[in-house]
Structure 1
Amino acid sequence: MKPKSMHLIEKATLIHFHRHRQERFATGSAGALGWKHVNSQQKRFEVLASIGNLDDCEILDPGCGYGDLLTFLDARFKGVTYRGIDLLPEFVKTAAKSFACRANTCFMIGDFSRMELPKTDYVLASGAFGYKTEDKHYSFRTIDRLFKTARKGIGFNMLDKNKFPDHPLLTGHDKNVVVDFCQTLSSATKVVEDYLEDDFTVFVHKKNRTKAFYR
């Protein structure tokens, strides 16, 4: 059985959202990706990159957008092998053109919640779980898939539902529920907060899996 993904209508809404923002903001900008401003995106990257020493590591970036995380990593680490995945062809096309001369770099069009994922050292996902979906287990199933493809661990950020205002497309998550789930994957789970008003980051390092969380 194929893994579940976002409903087709939900995907279409997501794509429309970003295409509308591309018309409103400049291509390649933080605004086109849905961020309030560049500083919030950079702050999220700073926290994600603290997962460990990323020198000479393979990184998978689901929901990569224009590949901004790669620019951030290259300024701080050496020898990074990078793979980015995004649902929007426009994002992938722009990113591939921007990094065409960079070695050990690959951008792919696809739905990372159901496509075959390459093995990697770390998965770093920024903003990948911010969209509404009717499947209440979507985030858990996807986090599980990302964790399985990582050799060392995963890091991802989410909007905090207790602080993020209601939005027609974007959604917050219950931090405690998310952490409880991640602890079923590994006891080496850590949450980071207080770097932005409505955001939190979770790190899950490889260790023995404990128990099943969902059916």
Structure 2
Amino acid sequence: MILKTKECEDMSDLETHYRNLFLKFGDSAESAQYRDRITQVKRYEILIEIANITGSKVLDFGCGTAHFATFLKEKGIQVDYTGVDFVNEFLQCAKEKHPESKFCSLDEALQDTYDYAFVSGVFNNVMENNENFYKETVKQLYQVAKKGLSFNMMSSYVDYYDQGLYYEKPENVFQFIKNEVSPYVAIRNDYQIRDGVIPFEFAVYVYKR
């Protein structure tokens, strides 16, 4: 991924932010900026509905301490898992939990190919140019995903905005995918992360044919 100077500063700030969360919360959903384990798992359940991924080779972009790998194992879903993150403390913890899996830098991960790539929560923090970041990331991951890519984002169709979060219109993402990535795309804005709260994010399934 080619990052401009300001974007590199943003990534450095995010690295510090997540490292501090890890030091505060340890190996927990909160360290990856989820509200709790319940909402984290709900997002994972939506993301894997892209397809039956049993037996697949998967890439988890922004893996944190590999909660997605733990989720898949608890569900009895056998995969060949690779996790990528830029926080060394996350990766060290993930390796200790899942020695059977691979954890590496993005540059190393992009030298390989996978059946599916997954991204959860990575596009949520405000940056200098969020649009460029998510678009370039999606393009890169799509290139190494042989079957599909699944990711989520915060929806602009909400009644409350957090100044530290990035919100996008689902239709803008749909148009970007259709025009620049793949003609095979589905967007879901129908699921509730928390009971009694209207959908405030959406999931995107991008397929190859």
Q: Shorter chain as normaliser: what TM range?
A: 0.7 to 0.9
Gap regions ≥5 residues in structure 2:
194-198
Report the counterpart of residue 14 of structure 2 in structure 1: 14
Report the counterpart of residue 94 of structure 1 in structure 2: 93
CA-to-aligned-CA distance 1:190-209 (integer Å, 9 cap, x gap): 011232331110001003xx
C-alpha distance in 2, partners of 1:106/1:22? 21
Shift of the alpha carbon at 1:79?
3.5
Gap regions ≥5 residues in structure 1:
208-215
Report the counterpart of residue 79 of structure 2 in structure 1: 80
Tell me which moved more, 132-141 or 7-16: 132-141
C-alpha distance in 2, partners of 1:76/1:165? 33
Aligned equivalent of 2:184, options 184, 188, 191: 188
Identity of aligned residues (%): 27
Report the counterpart of residue 121 of structure 2 in structure 1: 127
| 2:168 alignment partner, SS class | coil
CA-to-aligned-CA distance 1:3-55 (integer Å, 9 cap, x gap): 33672220121122212222332x11011111111111101000011111111
Across the aligned residues of Structure 1 and Structure 2, the Cα RMSD in angstroms comes to 2.0
C-alpha distance in 2, partners of 1:192/1:198? 11
Q: Does 1:106 align with 2:108?
A: no
Shift of the alpha carbon at 1:78?
4.3
User: Is the 1:92–1:109 Cα contact (8 Å) retained in structure 2?
Assistant: no
Report the counterpart of residue 68 of structure 2 in structure 1: 69
User: Is the 2:58–2:116 Cα contact (8 Å) retained in structure 1?
Assistant: yes
Report the counterpart of residue 210 of structure 1 in structure 2: none
Structure 1 or 2: larger helix share?
2
CA-to-aligned-CA distance 1:104-132 (integer Å, 9 cap, x gap): x10114479xx734200000111121122
Normalising to structure 1: TM-score of the pair? Answer: 0.85
User: Is the 1:153–1:203 Cα contact (8 Å) retained in structure 2?
Assistant: yes
Normalising to structure 2: TM-score of the pair? Answer: 0.87
Change (3 A) 1:63 1:139: same
C-alpha distance in 1, partners of 2:111/2:45? 24
Q: Does 1:137 align with 2:116?
A: no
Report the counterpart of residue 3 of structure 1 in structure 2: 2
C-alpha distance in 2, partners of 1:126/1:96? 19
User: Is the 1:87–1:111 Cα contact (8 Å) retained in structure 2?
Assistant: no
